[in-house]
Structure 1
Amino acid sequence: MKLLLIEDDAEIIDVVCTIFQISCPNSRVLSASNGRRGIETVESANPDIILLDLGLPDMNGFDVLKQIRTFSDTPIIILTVRGDESDVVRGLTLGANDYIIKPFRQMELLARVRRLLTKKQINGEDLSITCGKMHFGSSIRELWINGTLVNLTVSEGRIIYMLMKNHDKTVSYEDLSELLWGDYYPEARSNLKTHILRLRNKIEDTASDPKLLINSPNHGYILKTID
């Protein structure tokens, strides 16, 4: 089990690490001391569960939650001193799976983490989709092409998954931007281009001469079906 703690209080980080080292020896606890680093770590490390503080030094915790939910369904427990009913309701409405008020009880935290992990394993995620010789494995980060595994970031996986669902059709810049970031903004095309270039390096025989992932000028991108 890989847990990500987005928290700037070193004492809380030490306590959580100790709890899971003792109770779940096979677990791994990652930490990020600010919101932006936390969002980046969710994408790069693909944790199994996230503990999120609301009082972060660079961003409002609710904004961190909203951004994570644009690209990840990883279970999130808000862990905060803010116990107002309005904060609890807002957190759950924005996509948190649970809400724990500090100071927390250690066994209760463990129980809630285990409950969410069990629920995640039962529900799973249906990635059953094939496009030509491409299909996903058991994770949005695992793309198989001609029997060869290609490891993707979460964002790359979400882009290619949407393109596969709409193969041979243009998927607009706006739709891809909303998929990744929840909105379309001025720099979206440039940022999408960066993701597309990385994807081409992974799935094309020659990235500079793409045959699969094609531009639709001034509109978006198309994934061609090639058997």
Structure 2
Amino acid sequence: MTRVLVVDDEPALVRTLSINLRARDYEVEHAFDGRTAVQCVAEDEPDVMVLDLGLPDLDGVEVIRRVRQISELPIIVLSARHGGDDKVEALDGGADDYVTKPFGIDELLARLRAIRRRTGASAHPEPVITEHFSLDFSERIASKGGVAVRLTPTEWHLLEVLAVQPGHLVPQRELLRQVWGPGYESDTNYLRVYVAGLRRKLEPTPARPRYLLTDSGQGYRLVL
């Protein structure tokens, strides 16, 4: 059973989400502030976090950053903030998806299913070993210069799609469809944020990428 940690300071919303998720065989835990949420992740190890950005103690982006120091669990952001900068900041901090309030429960459930499909995939590309970093997809182990690198589930899935055919162009729409699912084909901002994050983590010189290359307006390729 998938365990979902719902983090929001609105009791009515938490109650509604809990009822709907439990009715669909999810196990639900909840936290009403950021510090409790981070503690729950450390102690209880949920499978997915559903996180509101507007918390009473810590900003949601700070919660994401703290969680990413200890866990790779998928994070879906719920937020009333509609600005593009807020979405970029959350995704750049390590969130896997971003849902704007108000939202329909069916939309959230679809995104939960998509995340579980991404993190539960059984087929993996061959390991990637370069001069600067290595990736073991089956064990989800990454290192750069002999030092472990923490990658989120979405970062792993993005790299997996690119690593199936190293050197080949993967169009933007295809990447978005495979990593985030149908309906995301126009959200190219997701790709820009995640590729930039992967370059910071893996490339020897992120500003001049050697491995994760962009074909402007077309897509991306992993060149080994």
Interval of TM-score (by shorter of Structure 1 and Structure 2): 0.5 to 0.7
- CA 1:93–1:113: 2 relative to 1, 3 Å: same
* Structure 1 residue aligned with 2:114: 115
Equivalence for 1:100: 99
Identical amino acids, percent of aligned pairs: 32
* Distance across 1 between alignment mates of 2:108 and 2:122: 21
Q: Which runs of 5+ in 1 are unaligned?
A: 126-137, 141-161, 167-174, 180-227
CA gap 1:124/1:52 in 2 versus in 1, 3 angstroms: farther
Where does residue 60 of structure 1 map in the other structure?
59
Alignment of 1:24-103 (within 5 A): 24-25=24-25, 27-103=26-102
Superposition deviation, residue 89 in structure 1: 1.1
Runs of at least 4 residues of structure 1 off by over 2 A? Answer: none
Structure 2, gaps ≥5 residues long: 125-137, 151-224
TM-score for the superposition, normalised by structure 2: 0.54
Structure 1: how far apart are the matches of 2:139 and 2:78?
Answer: 27
**CA displacement at 1:83 relative to structure 2:** 1.1
For residues 94 and 38 of structure 1, the distance between their equivalents in structure 2, rounded to whole angstroms, comes to 16
Larger of the two Rg values belongs to structure:
1
TM-score between the two structures when normalised by the length of structure 1 = 0.54
Structure 2 vs 1, CA of residues 70 and 56 (structure 1 numbering), >3 Å: closer, same or farther?
same
Cα deviation for residue 81 of structure 1 reads 0.7
What aligned pairs does 1:97-176 form with structure 2 within 5 A after superposition? 97-122=96-121
How far the C-alpha of 1:124 sits from its partner, in A, is 9.0
Residue 51 of structure 2 aligns with an amino acid whose one-letter code is: L
Q: Deviations over 1:6-61 (max 9, x none)?
A: 11110110110111122x22x21100111000000011111110001111011111
Q: Which residue of 2 is the match for residue 11 of structure 1?
A: 12
Q: Secondary structure at the match of 2:6?
A: strand
Counterpart CA distance in 1 for 2:47 and 2:110 is 15
2:22 corresponds to which residue? 21
Query: In the TM superposition, what whole-angstrom CA distance separates every residue of 1:125-164 from its partner, at most 9, and x where no partner exists?
Result: 9xxxxxxxxxxxx999xxxxxxxxxxxxxxxxxxxxx9xx
1-side partners of 2:73 and 2:116: how far apart?
10
